[in-house]
Structure 1
Amino acid sequence: MDEPTRAVRRLVAASTQQQRTTGDFLRDVCRTAAQALSASGAGISVMTDDGTRGVCAASDPLSERAEDLQFVMGEGPCIDAFTTRRPVLIADLGGSAVHRRWPSYASAAVQDGVRAVFAFPLQVGAARLGILDVFRQRAGPLTDEELPLALAFADVTVEALLDRQRGAEDGTVTPGREAADVGNRAAVFQAQGMVMIQLSVSLAEALSRMRAYAYAENRPLDDVARDIVTRRLRLEKDSS
């Protein structure tokens, strides 16, 4: 075991408890990672292989919004890192190349005060579990010491998630809200189909309409989807 991994294990062990739910555990990891990496915050999204987000956690409200924005917009370092299975390290979200790559996300994140994002896949072998995002309110790359530490945080998080999954199965770890969270994400796909039929648009256009509404109303995409599924919300056709 290398020194960064040992250091991360010590940090995580000192700040977390085995008896806490997985969501609480991940929030502790996010706070510990943000402090260790001199970051303004961190976020973790646990995802299925098709990109559906289940459990999510963040160190603070700003990081939670920066994390959620990527799923509302359908673009960003987190999504690219998950797709490519490689870290995506963006030292300056204000750069022109970054704005061309993720025009909606980069603009919204910078407006919220986020200037740098570093996304690390949570994976073991061919299996993808999600993403660890590190946020900074100042531009600049991770240092030569911080980068291996961030990679170690990702590795230790994967090990902990697998351990806690086994613990939930044998009753030694509290499962908490995880099953409900995955169900909430599944509602996005049901709502997408409903909007497609209601507005007579493609499936991709239906999701774009839902994301646009969520962004305009400053609401999580999950909440908008649940309102559509329960028929508390119906998106209108364009007047044009």
Structure 2
Amino acid sequence: MRTRWAWGVAVSLRWGAELVWFSDEVSARLEDAQFTLGQGPGLTGDFSEVPFQVEDLQTAGWWPQFVAEAAALKGRAVFVWPVRSGAARFGTLTGYRTTPGPLSGQQAADGLRVADALTGRLLAWRPGSGNDGDGPGQAGAVDLHRVEVHQATGVLSVRLGVPMDEALVRLRARAFASGRPLTEAARDVLSDLPP
């Protein structure tokens, strides 16, 4: 009997700060969990080996909150390729799988080719150039998913008189404490603005 498993991928810029593409809802939610929690394999700076492989999240011993979120989504293995040009790292291509285990050599090489192609695509992309997609999951589309989070971070920074980094930490804490996605917590902050 063959084992059934699922794959998904997502592309984020700026160490997970901006999700620009995802293949399915689980990959989007895993990226959002990393961004909300501020932990996870996509936020690692260690690319001494490409891809960065977490063959079994349940036994990895890292990122306890992220592992719990991934388990709830049935994610067992995560693989991260840097989206970079030379030493400049722009973001990550993150894949997940519902079964544990390493990638084959061919899968690792294919992921690197995709990450390299994404680098070219992202470097050529310009907002409003007519090359924008019309939603998540469309091949070739670059869609910004966290604009409201960045806006709400700015609002909190001004309201609380704190630096942007601290405002983002507070917004993340609000989302985590309420068990809601970060984008929903951001919308709450923005809905309090005067018209």
Name the TM-score, length of structure 2 as normaliser. Answer: 0.75
Q: Which has the higher helix share?
A: 1
Q: Which residue of 1 aligns with 2:105?
A: 144
1:176 and 1:125, CA in 2 relative to 1: closer, same or farther beyond 3 A? farther
1:225 and 1:191, CA in 2 relative to 1: closer, same or farther beyond 3 A? farther
Q: Which residue of 1 aligns with 2:153?
A: 189
Larger Rg: 1
Q: 2:17 is matched by which residue type in structure 1? A: R
Unaligned runs of 5+ in 2: 136-141
Q: Which residue of 2 aligns with 1:173?
A: 131
Deviation (angstroms), 1:205: 6.2
1:227 corresponds to 2:188: yes
1:75 corresponds to 2:36: no
1:57 corresponds to 2:21: yes
1:61 and 1:203, CA in 2 relative to 1: closer, same or farther beyond 3 A? same
The answer (yes or no) to whether the contact 2:46–2:52 under 8 Å persists in 1 is: no
Q: Which residue of 2 aligns with 1:13?
A: none
Q: Distance in 2 between matches of 1:94 and 1:112?
A: 13
Q: Distance in 1 between matches of 2:93 and 2:16?
A: 15
1:130 corresponds to 2:130: no
For 1:5-47, what per-residue CA distance to the aligned partner results, in whole angstroms no more than 9, with x for missing partners?
A: xxxxxxxxxxxxxxxxxxxxxxxxxxxxxxxxx8521111123
Q: Which residue of 2 aligns with 1:44?
A: 11
Deviation (angstroms), 1:146: 1.1
Q: 2:7 is matched by which residue type in structure 1? A: S
Q: Which residue of 2 aligns with 1:94?
A: 58
Q: Distance in 2 between matches of 1:57 and 1:219?
A: 21
For 1:54-87, what per-residue CA distance to the aligned partner results, in whole angstroms no more than 9, with x for missing partners?
A: 342211111111111000100101111xx34554
**Secondary structure, counterpart of 1:211 in structure 2:** helix
Q: Distance in 2 between matches of 1:159 and 1:231?
A: 40
Q: 1:119 is matched by which residue type in structure 2? A: V
Deviation (angstroms), 1:52: 6.6
1:112 corresponds to 2:76: no
Q: Which residue of 2 aligns with 1:19?
A: none
CA-atom RMSD in angstroms: 3.1
Q: Distance in 2 between matches of 1:115 and 1:121?
A: 20
* Percent sequence identity over aligned pairs: 31
**Secondary structure, counterpart of 2:174 in structure 1:** helix
**Secondary structure, counterpart of 1:145 in structure 2:** helix
Instruction: Work out the number of aligned pairs and report it.
Output: 181
Show the 5 A alignment for 1:151-162. 151-162=112-123
Q: Distance in 1 between matches of 2:153 and 2:80?
A: 25
Q: Distance in 2 between matches of 1:69 and 1:182?
A: 13
Deviation (angstroms), 1:127: 2.6
Deviation (angstroms), 1:218: 4.1
The answer (yes or no) to whether the contact 2:10–2:19 under 8 Å persists in 1 is: no
Q: Distance in 1 between matches of 2:180 and 2:92?
A: 22
Q: Distance in 2 between matches of 1:224 and 1:84?
A: 30
Deviation (angstroms), 1:175: 6.8
Deviation (angstroms), 1:89: 1.0
